[in-house]
Structure 1
Amino acid sequence: MKVKSLQKILSMGKCGIIMLCIHCLFVAPVSARFQKQEGIVITGKVTDDKDGALPGVSIKVKGTAIGTSTVADGTYRISAPVGAVLSFKIIGYKAKEEIVRANTTINVVLLTDQQVLDEVVVVGYGTQKKSDITGAVTSIPKDRIDNMVRTDVVQLIQGAAAGLNVTTTAAGANPESGAVLLIRGRKSISASNDPLIILDGIPYNGSLSDINSNDIASLEILKDASAAAIYGSRASNGVLLIQTKQGTKGKVTVRYEYLYGIQRVANFPHLMTGQEYFEFKAGVVSPAGII
C-alpha cells in the first residue's frame, strides 16, 4: 500500500514531489520531538567525596518545575527527557549538573564547598567558622560594606538582614533622634527596644550616626537568645557587633575614594511664610487678645 501511495504521489509530477518534501520536513521531526518529550526514568545515588550517602539533595530538571530529592541512603528517581540537564544542589556542597543521555543511571559525587564552611564570623567572644555557629547570626556582606554608597551606618544595614527593621525619623519627631532599630520586633512596651551596640569589643552608648561608616571592617548581628549568654540582659533586644579597620603589618596601602550623589529629604516640613503666619495668628486671636 505504501509503495502504491508513493507511486501515486510521484505520478502527480511537481506537486507530488512538493507534498512529499513537506511530509518529510514536518512529520518526522514532530514524531521525534514527541519521543524526546516522553522522557526516561533516571535513577542513581548521590555521595560525597568520601563515598558517604547524601540525603536531602535537591534535584531539578533545569528550566522546568520537575524535581525531587534524595532519600536517606542517597538514592533518587526522576523522569527527564534525553538531553535535559539535571541540577544537584545541597547546602555546604558545590552544585553540579549532569546531562541526561541514553543511560538510565546517573551517580553523582558532590564536593564540599570549603568557602562557605570556612567563612569566619565575629561573635562576642572571638571569631568562629560559620559552620560551627548554632545561634542566629547575620553578617553584612563585605562587598556591601566596601562598595555601597552611603552617608551613615543606618543606610548600610537597612534592608541587609532578615529580622532587622530600620525606621527613619517620623514626621514631627526630633530630627536628631536618629533611626529606630528593632531586631525581631518589639520586646517591651515601656522599656527600650534598642539593640546593644558593641564597637571594637566595647559597649557603645552613642548614636549609630556618629560612627564613620567608612571605618567599618565587619558588621554582625546577633538575633537570638544566645547573645544574652555573652552580654547578659543588655542583649535581650539583640546585638550589633561592629569591628573597625585596624592597622596591619606589611606594606603601606593608600586608598582614595571619591563619591558624589543627590538625595532628597525624607520628611521635609512645610513652613509658613511671614504673611501666612500673620494671618494664622490673626485668625486665632480672640476679641480679648488672648490666643
Structure 2
Amino acid sequence: MLTKNVTILLTLLISTGLYAQNKTIHGVVLTAESKQPLEGATISYNSNTNRVTTTDAQGRFRLDVAKLPITITVSFVGRETKNVELTSENVTIQLVTAGALEEVVAVAYTTVKRSGYPGAVSVIGADKLNNRLTPNLTNALQGLAPGIQTTSANGQPGNNSAIRIRGVGSINASSSPLFVIDGAPYDGDINALDPADIASVNILKDAAAANLYGSRAANGVIIITTKQGKKGEDIAVNATLNQGWSSRAVKDYDKIGTDQYFELYWEALRNKALANGQTAALAAQTATDHVVSDLAINPYGSAYPKPVG
C-alpha cells in the first residue's frame, strides 16, 4: 500500500513539473501604419511538431510553448512576413505592407514580380498622381513614364487629351491604348475617373500585353487599380479642395454708355473744328450738324436733343 501511494505521489510531482515548464504566449498583431489589428494573421512555431495558430478579430493570438526564448513566424496576405524572437510571454507585433509598389506589376488578372515580367512596363503610384494638381488623368500621367505622350487639341478647360504609348501605331485605325480598370476593359471617357481614386497605374508597352487582350492591346495597355477598403482597418475620409482663378495682367479699360459715347464723339468733332481755326460757337454748331452723320446712326431718334457747346 505504501509503495502504491509513493508511486502516485511521484507521478503527480512529475506531471506538475512538466506542466510548470510550459509557457503560454499572449500576443497581438497590428498594422505598422495605422496600428489596427490584423484578423487572420498566421503565427507558426517550428518545433518538433510544427504548430500554427491565427489571430482573432482583435488581432490577438495565444501559443503554448515549452520554453523561452523561441522564434515565431508571423505572416499575412499583403504584408511582409516577419520572424520574431520571443523572450517574454506578452508581445506586440507590427507588420508592414509587403514590398514596394514598383516591385509588383499587375498583368491582366494577376500580379507578378517586376523582375519576372519579360515585357516593358512602368508603374505609377498614387503618391505621384496626387502631386499633380489636375482633374484630368491623361494630363496627370504626362511625364511620369517613358514612352508616354499626351496631346491636347486645344487649351480649353476640361478638354480631353489623347494618350499615346510609344507613338502612333496606325495611320487609319485608332492609336489609343486599351484601358483596364479593376480587371475590366473600359471604353468610356478615362478622364471621368478621378485621379484621387487611383491606387496604381501599370502601363504595359509592348507585344506581351496582347497575351490576354488580343488585338485591342496593339497600342499598349494601361491597367488602373482603384483604391479599395481593407479588412481590419478603420474608415478614413480624405477631403481635397483645389481652387484657381485667372486675371488680366493689365487692368481692363473703363467702359462708357451710349450717352457718354455720343457726347464724347461730339466733343471730338468740336475740338477738330477748333483745331482748324473755327470759333467756339461755329465749332459747336459744326459738331452738332455732323455728329449723327459721322456716327451713321442716331440712337435717340429724329427728335434727339442736340448738344451745344
> What is the TM-score of this pair, normalised by structure 1?
0.47
Structure number with greater Rg is 2
